[in-house]
């Protein structure tokens, strides 16, 4: 297992993160397997093809035995594929030569109070107006009880997008704001309800030498969009395991966000970076506490990686406009450019903004067939099972999968082997629209197909 600096593979200069490549190599008497985790926004088919070809040529390592996971790093979106291949091959050679018998421990903690659902579900009615709005502001949301900043409410009551607000918190049990009272009165709704499901689990898999008990490395998973803080987290976890490498993987994070207490830029503002380090520190403390109090490790007696290619229906409008995507894009771009100068209600503004964004997706999806085919992966390691799904999985999708597998400890990873789906919202969410719906290439039926096949593969013997 290794985590190496691959700065030379990226054009973006490091700011507070160093681009890294994580590699986890497993070998059994029958097979060899590899998990590849680059700092990248989405899995690239081009990159996977080139890497898989090199690994097959050098090690007879077949693609169905490789899990390629992009950890959704917004700072390092793309890398030079040729340079990355040149780094991966010798590194895998080292791992193969140094393979040892290992044992694994699975530790969990909660991210409660650190992550919230950014789709901003307030109620069914308010949600029709608010879903998809991304906001920044000072807040201390208590997950599950739902508090809401006046920033979002004021915007939807008529303020222009982008105006700054800092009016504090409106508690769901004590509605003080005139804006909130007016808003809820208009909708006949007086109760602000939960902000939607999130995946609150922090998973930490630690590997160590079965004989010497020396730490080999670890994998840490949490579910929040934009991974500004993982390198702070992996650094702390590495220190707690005697310097062994730690690799971050992302869960059902399409609509989860870190609960920041600053309005700074997510990639360049010193205050935000400091806040990311603080959040990572809380996560690390929770995990390390669990590890120290409950050191349970078991030899890796079995390891399997099963893949199934799943067909997912693409969105109806992509199929309908595929032949004239350019003209649709031009029309919607005109609508978008006229927004600032036109008088329109916040709801109209939101709708036009979504249409303009959708036009971009139509253009980039013009070459798609009616179905996107992507692998779904299940990794079984002793009694630990990991489900690798394509696209940016939203929390409701992960929740339905977990609900279907009642009683099982399901570790879900997003953005495995394919990112063409973009966001993967729950079928029930499509009627509300919003940013994630606008930026999905799947139809509700396509998402149902993915959920159904994932559950079947997970349950198969």
Which pLDDT tens digit goes with each residue over 298-346? 999 999 999 999 999 999 888 877 666 566 666 666 655 665 555 655 5
Whether residue 296 has pLDDT greater than 70:
yes
Predicted confidence at residue 437, as pLDDT, reads 80
Q: What is the mean pLDDT of residues 142-166?
A: 34
If asked whether residues 307 and 169 sit together in one domain, one would say: no
Q: Is residue 25 part of a domain?
A: yes
Range of the domain at 444: 303-314+369-459
Q: What is the mean pLDDT of residues 359-380?
A: 84
Q: What is the mean pLDDT of residues 44-65?
A: 95
Task: Please give the residue that has the higher pLDDT: either 175 or 87.
Answer: 87
Give the end of a domain, one of 67, 99, 131: 99
Give the least confident one: 54-63, 166-175, 244-253, 362-371.
166-175
Q: Is residue 36 part of a domain?
A: yes
Q: What is the mean pLDDT of residues 43-63?
A: 94
Predicted confidence at residue 151, as pLDDT, reads 40
| pLDDT band of 399, cuts 50, 70, 90 | confident
Predicted confidence at residue 458, as pLDDT, reads 93
Predicted confidence at residue 204, as pLDDT, reads 96
Q: Is residue 346 part of a domain?
A: yes
If asked whether residues 417 and 329 sit together in one domain, one would say: no
Q: Is residue 230 part of a domain?
A: no
Predicted confidence at residue 8, as pLDDT, reads 93
If asked whether residues 31 and 124 sit together in one domain, one would say: no
Give the end of a domain, one of 46, 64, 99: 99
CATH number at residue 26: 3.30.365
Which pLDDT tens digit goes with each residue over 21-40? 999 999 998 899 999 999 98
* Cβ(110)–Cβ(202) below 8 Å: yes
If asked whether residues 451 and 401 sit together in one domain, one would say: yes
Q: Is residue 22 part of a domain?
A: yes
If asked whether residues 450 and 307 sit together in one domain, one would say: yes
Task: Give the mean pLDDT of the chain.
Answer: 77
If asked whether residues 353 and 373 sit together in one domain, one would say: no
If asked whether residues 3 and 76 sit together in one domain, one would say: yes
Task: Please give the residue that has the higher pLDDT: either 352 or 198.
Answer: 198
If asked whether residues 56 and 85 sit together in one domain, one would say: yes
| pLDDT band of 13, cuts 50, 70, 90 | low
Structural domains in the chain (count) = 4
Whether residue 186 has pLDDT greater than 60:
no
If asked whether residues 310 and 409 sit together in one domain, one would say: yes
If asked whether residues 327 and 348 sit together in one domain, one would say: yes
Q: Is residue 209 part of a domain?
A: no
If asked whether residues 325 and 358 sit together in one domain, one would say: yes
Task: Please give the residue that has the higher pLDDT: either 451 or 199.
Answer: 451
If asked whether residues 414 and 338 sit together in one domain, one would say: no
| pLDDT band of 356, cuts 50, 70, 90 | low
Q: Is residue 277 part of a domain?
A: no
| pLDDT band of 62, cuts 50, 70, 90 | very high
Rounded distance, CA 315 to CA 328, Å?
15
Q: Is residue 105 part of a domain?
A: no
Give the end of a domain, one of 54, 69, 99: 99
């Amino acid at each position: 297992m290794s985590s190496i600096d691959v700065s030379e593979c990226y054009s973006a200069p490091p700011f507070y993160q160093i681009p890294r490549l994580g590699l986890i190599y497993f070998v059994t008497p029958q097979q060899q397997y590899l998990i590849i985790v680059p700092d990248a926004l989405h899995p690239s088919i081009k990159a996977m093809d080139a890497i898989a070809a090199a690994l097959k040529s050098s090690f007879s390592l077949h693609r169905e035995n490789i899990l390629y996971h992009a950890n959704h790093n917004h700072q390092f979106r793309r890398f030079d594929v040729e340079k990355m291949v040149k780094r991966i091959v010798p590194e895998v050679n080292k791992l193969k030569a140094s393979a040892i018998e290992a044992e694994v421990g699975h530790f969990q903690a909660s991210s409660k109070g650190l992550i919230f659902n950014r789709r901003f579900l307030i109620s069914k009615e308010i949600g029709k107006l608010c879903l998809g709005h991304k906001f920044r502001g000072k807040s201390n949301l208590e997950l599950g009880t739902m508090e809401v900043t006046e920033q979002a409410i004021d915007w939807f009551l008529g303020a222009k997008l982008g105006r700054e607000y800092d009016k504090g918190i409106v508690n769901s049990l004590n509605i003080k704001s005139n804006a909130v009272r007016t808003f809820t009165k208009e909708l006949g709704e007086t109760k602000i309800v939960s902000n939607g499901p999130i995946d609150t689990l922090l998973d930490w898999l630690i590997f160590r030498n079965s004989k010497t008990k020396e730490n080999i490395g670890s994998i840490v998973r949490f579910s929040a969009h934009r991974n500004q803080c993982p390198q702070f987290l992996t650094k702390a976890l590495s220190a707690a395991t005697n310097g062994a490498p730690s690799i971050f993987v992302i869960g059902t994070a399409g609509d989860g966000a870190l609960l920041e207490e600053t309005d700074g830029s997510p990639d360049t503002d010193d205050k935000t970076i400091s806040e990311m380090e603080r959040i990572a520190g809380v996560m690390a403390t929770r995990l390390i506490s669990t590890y120290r109090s409950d050191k349970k490790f078991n030899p890796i007696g079995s390891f399997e990686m099963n893949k199934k290619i799943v067909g997912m229906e693409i969105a109806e409008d992509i199929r309908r406009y595929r032949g004239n995507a350019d003209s649709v894009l031009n029309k919607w771009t005109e609508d978008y450019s006229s927004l600032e100068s036109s008088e329109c209600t916040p709801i109209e503004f939101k709708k036009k903004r979504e249409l303009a964004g959708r036009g971009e997706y139509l253009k980039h999806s013009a070459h798609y067939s009616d179905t996107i085919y992507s692998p779904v992966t299940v990794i079984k390691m002793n009694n630990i099972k990991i489900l690798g799904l394509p696209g940016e999985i939203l929390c409701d999708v992960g929740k339905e999968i977990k609900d279907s597998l009642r009683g099982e400890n399901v570790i879900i990873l997003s953005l495995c082997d394919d990112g063409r789906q973009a966001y993967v919202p729950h079928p029930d969410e499509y009627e509300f629209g919003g940013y994630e719906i606008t930026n999905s290439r799947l139809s509700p039926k396509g998402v149902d197909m993915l959920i159904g096949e994932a559950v079947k593969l997970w349950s198969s013997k």
